[in-house]
Amino acid sequence: MKIVAGEEKENVVVMDKERADIKKGSSKDETTENFNKIMEGRSTDWYSIYMTYTMMLLSGIQLTIYYTSIWPYILLLNPSSQINLLGYVIASFSLGQGIGSPIFGGVATKLRSNKIPITIGLIIVIIGNVIYVFLPDLPKDNIFYWICLSRILVGIGSGTNGVLRSYCVTACIPNDRRRVVALSIASFVMGVTIGPVIQALFTPLGTENNKYLIFTINMFTMPAIIMSIIYTFGIIFFWLRFKETFIGFEEVSTSDNLEDCKENNKIELPKFDNIAVIVCIIVMFVQSSVATNIEAVATPLSIAMYNWNDAEAVLYNGLLIAASAVISFTNYMMQAFTFVHNIDQRKLLIFGLSVFFLHHTLNYPWSFYSGKLDYIPTDENGTEFSTADYGGCSSKYDWCNSISRVPLIVYCITMIVCLGFGFPYTAAPNNTLYADILGPRRQGLMQGIFELFGSIARMVGPLIGTYLFNMAGPVYVMMLQGLLILLAIALILVFYKRLIPLKLA
């Protein structure tokens, strides 16, 4: 007890006694009893959760809608751009998300409200999209900086993902949590997978800069215009209709008294297992790294491997991802509504990561794969044609002669099947497990940190991936991702018994 002179001493004695009473009332048995009382008569707020699902879907679309087209867009705006710029542009989104995630999460936890940070995030996304639309009207020499600014702003706005995820797991009763999380991640990953499909739908508009009023209309700008309109209506509907629900404990702070704690269901919860939290964060890092590298490298890789031009690479990769989205959706529904719902989440995680490893193994350019790569055709002066017209491996890559062509059928099947199984059986179990480990407390800040490390992976991944691709094609990219996946599997196996929900008693 703190020793204070005069009248303050009596106040401190009272406060210390109240803190002792709070702790006494926070025994494990009583914590469980209080939690059961809170659960009595409570039900999952599906209406508000479905609204967050919609926001997660839009966020997923926003993440990937430009991935297959952003490199051709950069070349259209500045034909002298180098491939390494692609890594910086893609990483810009994740830099912004890494900044926004812990800030929005911390604000939501501090305010004990999610509505304000989510709305602010959506507004910032619109600003980023508007900049993307007007890139053709900006000076060519500064395009790189403007496109990075656009992606940073969209990333900051998308930092509300952690807040949305936190709301989902605390607006449901424990029995519904696996279903809620599975559908939440399904919404986001469905957005991630259909983003390139939406971009592919605008391929017929072509790459010409057609002016309509103040807008430049082509296959690159139209998706940004559509997303800005959707987000605007989304903000209005969300602000008018979203009502928050919280099912759990408000944690005790140093300024709380006993009466306030009793009235507001405040209690001193057990601390969560830090090791288990770190393992889940590492799995999140690996999963995000895999996803980002696949999306970032898919276009230049398919152009070099299969002689697709820019439009074909955008269209065909979009169709492959669309097919994988169908399988992904089926797997998420199985986790939410079938016997898969009852399978140990740790086993599902190992399965999902193993499928990712299979994808990278089969897409490694093994020497027994037949066929060498073709160079991009050149004109009579020996100048390469633009990839807008012809596909092939660029002569600026030293590895074109030494790399075997991965069979197209292998590429297509793994893009559809492996991604269709890998993402659902990694993302949903990991997110559910992470929420269970944290327990029935407000999770905004911790979910923001969780999202932060995913953002770091999405920021660093493209930089390393495009650098390695420039150096050795898909060889080092596949090797690095394979090692990261094996690391994640090893950590799950080593700490298997610690990856369990928070025990209240």
**Distance, C-alpha 65 to centroid of its chain:** 13
Mean pLDDT, the chain, as a whole number? 82
| Arithmetic mean of pLDDT, 70-95 | 79
**Hey, which bits of 338-459 come out as E strands?**
none
209-230, pLDDT tens digit by residue? 777 777 778 888 888 888 999 9
Whether pLDDT at 278 is above 90: yes
C-beta separation of 299 from 71 below 8 A: yes
What does the pLDDT read at residue 203?
Answer: 80
Name the residue with higher pLDDT: 219 or 37. Answer: 219
**What pLDDT score does 275 carry?**
95
Residue 83 confidence (pLDDT) above 80? no
| Residue 29 pLDDT class (50, 70, 90 cuts) | low
Q: Write down the pLDDT at residue 1.
A: 38
On whether residue 68 sits in a domain, the answer given is yes
Q: List the domain range (segments joined by +) for residue 146.
A: 40-379+386-498
CATH number at residue 94: 1.20.1250.20
Question: What is the structure's pLDDT at 20?
Answer: 47
Distance, in Å, from the CA atom of 135 to the CA atom of 154, rounded to the nearest integer, reads 15
Higher pLDDT, 284 or 461: 284
Is 127 a member of any domain?
yes
Task: Supply the Cα-derived Rg of the chain in whole angstroms.
Answer: 25
How would residue 489 be classed by pLDDT, with cut points 50, 70 and 90? Answer: very high
In a domain, 243, yes or no: yes
Q: Report in angstroms the alpha-carbon separations of 124 from 52, 57, 234, 235, 242.
A: 18, 17, 13, 11, 19
The angle that helices 444-472 and 161-170 make with each other, rounded to 10 degrees, is: 140
More confident of the two residues 178 and 360? 360
Residues 6 or more apart whose CB falls under 8 angstroms from that of 7 comprise: none
**b/e for 269-286, b at 16 or more Cβ within 10 A?**
beebbeebbebbbbbbbb
Asked if residues 421 and 355 have their Cβ atoms less than 8 Å apart, the reply is yes
Candidates 64, 70, 75, 63; CA nearest to 89 is 70
Q: What is the mean pLDDT of residues 259-272?
A: 64
How much is the average pLDDT of 319-334?
A: 87
Region 79-94 average pLDDT:
78
For 170-180, write each residue's pLDDT tens digit.
888 878 888 88
Give pLDDT, residue 4: 42
Strands (E) across 114-249 are located at 210-212, 215-217
| Cα–Cα dist 146/135, whole Å | 7
Question: In whole angstroms, what is the distance from residue 127 CA to residue 157 CA?
Answer: 9
| Unique residue bearing structure tokens 């893009």 | 415
Confidence label for 479 from pLDDT (cuts 50, 70 and 90)? very high
Determine the pLDDT at residue 482. Answer: 93
Give the pLDDT score at 8: 43
Is it the case that residue 487 has pLDDT exceeding 90? Answer: yes
As a whole number of angstroms, the distance between CA 458 and CA 90 comes to 8
Maximum average pLDDT range among 288-302, 416-430, 460-474? 416-430
Domain count, the chain: 1
> 123-177 pLDDT, tens per residue?
999 999 999 888 888 887 788 889 999 999 999 998 888 888 888 888 888 788 8
Reported as a pLDDT band with limits 50, 70 and 90, residue 6 is very low
| Helix spans in 25-160 (H) | 28-39, 46-64, 70-77, 84-111, 115-133, 143-157
Residue 88 in this model has a pLDDT that exceeds 90: no
pLDDT, tens digit, 9 for 90 and up, residues 369-411? 888 888 888 887 777 787 878 888 888 888 888 889 999 999 9
pTM, to two decimals: 0.76
Please report the pLDDT score of residue 248 as a whole number: 66
Structure tokens at 22: 């709070």
For residue 21, tell me if it sits in a domain: no
Residue 505: pLDDT over 70: no
pLDDT at 420 over 50: yes
Query: How far is residue 231's CA from residue 128's CA, in Å, rounded to a whole number?
Result: 12
